[in-house]
Amino acid sequence: MFDVRRTWIDLSRLSDDQLRDIGLTRDDVIAEMSRPIWDVPAHWRQDRDVRC
């Protein structure tokens, strides 16, 4: 969960030009940040389960 939060913070700090360079818009970032913290891609959870 800390990784997800850090990613959201990092994305929110990027300029619109920087976001465009990586194929995102400000609306994409806002939509991502509005998702619940536990709503991560399934492969993130699977990778974590394998290491446990």
3-class DSSP state for residue 52? coil
pLDDT digits (tens, 9 = 90+) for 22-43: 999 999 999 888 888 777 767 7
Q: Is the pLDDT of residue 51 over 80?
A: no
pLDDT, residue 3, reads 81
Question: SS3 for 16-47, per residue?
Answer: HHHHHHCCCCHHHHHHHHCCCCCCCCHHHHHH
Q: Is the pTM of this model over 0.85?
A: no
